[in-house]
Structure 1
């Protein structure tokens, strides 16, 4: 058993892959709890698809891909906010139009601009091909995200739970809104190398929604999200090595399994509570 666990990490590329994946998993788990409370799962999906044209343009101009991806994601978020405020269209409809249009634009650019990047690496990630420089870049971005969330965790929590209360409490709602969007875009940029632009939304939502099914306390929710995200990342990386499969999809599949287990457990617990309540009510009426 120990050999099965330790063998993959005798290779430097597996060490880089696991360390990068764990860093991203921790940040995604924490941010996912806020996104679930805010109801921004579709916003994460929109930004994750919208970064594709930024990646292609960044390669064409000769700047780091992370910068292009981040600017493209922020442009998507600002565009959604502008269209929502200046039209009668609902936010979810605007998101669908903006992210699908930008994703299609990115695909057109990719076919017209010659790059040495393989499309599948961008769409589905290339965790095993991460270099030391990319690992350091991911560590820096994730550290910035983590520090900001820790410093502003209470403000973000109040804003996600009740924006009206946050406004009455004297918080700058617009600043918190765009700060959360920037953190979301940065997280997607860091997670892009792990699971790609298509699967990144699962890494951003699965830990939070799994924890949401199991607890009503936010602090406990973050701990459960961290546990499920880190466990899925560690086990998924090991499985991908031994079954010779893509690492990112293996991680996402395990997160989906954790969600199904949490859903089943929540249903069983709810049924047990109902039966207990019915039994107590019957007993009190009899007495």
Structure 2
């Protein structure tokens, strides 16, 4: 079965595109996901991944590349959520719930107007095996930009994630870094939409980062581990999806969840089974 998959990689261009795109998305989603987890913004990831839907639908209607519409609507949702939270007594989870459900509903209506039910299925659940050359190169380009921004702004992103009050006292523009992270989150959500769809993007962002969090002692280690786990889950998930003819996006997400479950039980510092063994040996 593994040999069949390797032969397929040699023979089929669509499978090569799928593999490269899946690995790139796994790496970049894993890196951004670390900051999302540290800032307690997991729900924000979910909101933006759903908010890109009307942008995609509008792009189909206007006949432009879906990346343009999706990024515009993702950023709009992020600005709206932050504005509602900052200018009312409403808490962030409520602002997120209102915004993402409204954007999702608008997206479904626009897709109905576009008469594109097949595309709706692909947008919601992804279709990594249908990635075209142009989409692959856009994904690689976006991933390079996102990783470069993380590298350049690593220190301020680190300080504003762990201690926003300290960052403020140091004169750092905390809000500006929040918006920068929202831009990165939107870019990653748009690229991940091809592999796992808008429904499952949040899993690509959160699960590898949460798994890495169980092992890592520093943010650098966490990012490296999270990106590695994201890429590995993408490879294994694509292999399972292709070999058994099941949805590759869902296979990637379930593989990632399996990594988390194993780590949750056996991670040296945090694993539940390891802790119970230590307790019983002490007593």
The verdict on a shared fold, with TM-score over 0.5 as the criterion, is yes
How does 1:28-43 map onto structure 2 within 5 Å? 28-43=29-44
How big is the shift at 1:162? Answer: 0.9
Structure 2 match to 1:9: 9
| Range with bigger deviation, 74-83 or 168-177 | 168-177
Structure 1 match to 2:180: 179
CA deviation vs aligned residue, 1:214-234 (integer Å, no higher than 9, x gap): 233222222221222111111
How big is the shift at 1:8? Answer: 2.3
The equivalent position to 2:276 in structure 1, one of 271, 275, 287, is 271
Whole-Å Cα distance in 1 between the matches of residues 84 and 36 of structure 2?
21
The structure having more radius of gyration, on CA atoms, is 1
Whole-Å Cα distance in 2 between the matches of residues 8 and 236 of structure 1?
15
Is contact 2:212-2:226 (8 Å) kept? yes
CA deviation vs aligned residue, 1:130-153 (integer Å, no higher than 9, x gap): 111111111111111111011111
CA deviation vs aligned residue, 1:29-83 (integer Å, no higher than 9, x gap): 1111111111111000000001111111122223221010001011111111111
Whole-Å Cα distance in 1 between the matches of residues 276 and 177 of structure 2?
39
Is contact 1:8-1:241 (8 Å) kept? no
Is contact 1:158-1:166 (8 Å) kept? yes
CA deviation vs aligned residue, 1:10-36 (integer Å, no higher than 9, x gap): 211100000011111110111111111
Structure 1 unaligned runs (5+)? 280-287
How big is the shift at 1:89? Answer: 1.0
Cα RMSD for the two superposed structures: 1.6
CA deviation vs aligned residue, 1:94-146 (integer Å, no higher than 9, x gap): 10111011101110111123348621111011111111111111111111111
Is contact 2:25-2:231 (8 Å) kept? no
Whole-Å Cα distance in 1 between the matches of residues 62 and 177 of structure 2?
32
Whole-Å Cα distance in 1 between the matches of residues 185 and 118 of structure 2?
24
Is contact 1:52-1:102 (8 Å) kept? yes
Q: How many residue pairs were aligned?
A: 278
Q: Quick one: structure 1 residues 36 and 69, their matched pair in 2 at CA, closer, same or farther if it must change by over 3 Å?
A: same
Query: Normalized against structure 1, the TM-score is what?
Result: 0.92
Q: Detail structure 1 runs of 4+ shifted over 6 Å in the superposition.
A: none
Whole-Å Cα distance in 1 between the matches of residues 227 and 179 of structure 2?
24
Q: Quick one: structure 1 residues 264 and 133, their matched pair in 2 at CA, closer, same or farther if it must change by over 3 Å?
A: same
How big is the shift at 1:86? Answer: 1.7
Structure 2 unaligned runs (5+)? none
| Range with bigger deviation, 163-172 or 15-24 | 163-172
Whole-Å Cα distance in 2 between the matches of residues 144 and 117 of structure 1?
31
Alignment of 1:145 onto 2:150: no
Whole-Å Cα distance in 2 between the matches of residues 39 and 273 of structure 1?
30
